[in-house]
Copies of this chain bind each other. A is one copy, B any other.
Amino acid sequence: MPLPTFDSRLDPGVAAALATVAERGVDHVFFVACGGSLSIMYPAKFMLDQHSAALPSDVLNAAEFTARAPKRLTARSLVILCSMTGTTKETVAATKFAKAAGALTITLTTEPASPLGKAGDHIVGFEAPYTTGVPIDAKNSNYARIYQLVLGLAQIFDGSDKLGALMGSLDALQPAIDRAHDHFAPLFADYAPRLATKNVIYTMASGADYGAAYSFAICVLMEMQWINSQAIHANEFFHGPFEVLDKDASFLLFKGLDSTRPLTDRAETFLLRFGAKENILVLDAAGLDLSGIDADLAGNLVPLVFFDTLWRFAYKIADLRNQEMLEARRYMKKLHDY
C-alpha cells in the first residue's frame, strides 16, 4: 500500500515507528506492560477497538505474555510495550521474546538509554512528573504518545482521519486539567478526611477510564498507602461485588464521557441508594470545561484528567494518614532480590 502521510505535529518517535508499521504491515497488536504502565494499555485498546476494524489486539501483563506465548504472536505482530523507567525486567524480557518471534516492537519509556529502550525496534519517549520531579504537560505523557500510535494505526489500516483532531486536543489538554484541579478541589477537601480513615477503598469505572481506576487502586491506594483496594468494572459490580456495599463501604466512581458512560450512571444510582453519600466519591467528567478537546475524543482524554487531579487527592490522604507517598513502600525500590 502507498505509505501514508501523518500529521506533522506527531511526536517524531511515533512518526518513525508508524512509518515502519506502514511499510511492513501487521495483523495483530499486543499491548504489553506491568502495573501502572499496563494501566494505559486498557484505554489504548479501547481506542483501537473503536477506531479499527482491521486490527485485533490484546492487553497482557508482560510476564503473562511471555509465559502464555500466544500463537497469534508472529512476524506479522506489532508489540507495544511500556515501562516508565525502562527497567521493568518482565517488560524487557517480553520485548526480547517478541523480537525472537519476529514481531515488530515499539517501546515507550522516559529513558531511551534504559534496558527497555535498547531492547526494541523503535523507541517512543514520554515525560512523567514522577521521574522529572517537575510538572509536565500532559501532551507529552504516556497516554498522549500511545494514543498517537493507536490513531496512526487506525489511519494506516482503516483510513481513520482522527489524528489531527487528537493533536489539537492534546494541546488543549493541560489547560483542561489545570481547570479540573480547581473544579474537583472542594470535592477532594470534603472527602479526604473520611476516606483517609478507611481500610478498604474500591475504585470503579468502565470503558476508557478503567485503566485509571486500576492504576489508582494498585499504584496509589495499595502501593503507596497500603489501603486495600480493587478496580471494579462498573457493570461487573452488579454481578457479585455489589454485595459488599453498605453504609461504611467506600467507593471512588469514575464517570467518564465515552460510550460506556451509562454503565457508570447505573452504578452511581445503586451506590447512592444503598451506600452512604459521604463515602461515595463520584468524579464526574460531565461538569468539566474541556474547551478545545474534540468531542469524539473527549472520552479518551478524560482518564488523564481524572488521574492527574486524583494525585492531589492522594497527597491529601497521605498527609492525613501521616504516610508519605513515594517513601511509603516496604518492598518496591527497597528490596532487590525478588
By a beta-carbon cutoff of 8 Å, the part of chain A in contact with chain B is 28, 34-36, 38, 46, 49-53, 56-58, 61-64, 67-72, 74, 88, 90, 158, 199-200, 206-207, 218-219, 222-224, 226-230, 233, 235-236, 238-246, 259-260, 262-263, 266, 269-270, 273-274, 329-332, 338
Contacts and interface: CB of A to CB of B under 8 A. Distances in A.
Nearest to A261: B67
A67 to B, nearest CB: 4
Given A34-B239, A53-B71, A200 B228 contact: yes
Given A49-B70, A227-B244, 5 more contacts: A28-B56, A38-B236, A56-B56, A71-B158, A270-B338
A280 to B, nearest CB: 15
A61 to B, nearest CB: 5
Contacts of A35: 236, 238-240
A49 B36 contact: no
B226 A244 contact: yes
A238 B56 contact: no
Contacts of A236: 34-35, 38, 61, 218
A76 to B, nearest CB: 10
A263 B67 contact: yes
B228 A244 contact: yes
Contacts of A338: 238, 266, 269-270, 273
A50 B228 CA distance: 34
A53 B76 CA distance: 11
Contacts of A63: 206, 235, 260, 263
A111 to B, nearest CB: 17
B71 A50 contact: yes
Given A61-B235, A274-B331, A50 B68 contact: yes
A243 B259 contact: no
Contacts of A158: 71
Contacts of A199: 199-200
Contacts of A207: 64, 67-68
A217 to B, nearest CB: 8
Nearest to A45: B58
A236 B274 CA distance: 32
A240 B228 contact: no
Contacts of A330: 243, 245-246, 274
A235 B56 contact: no
B244 A222 contact: yes
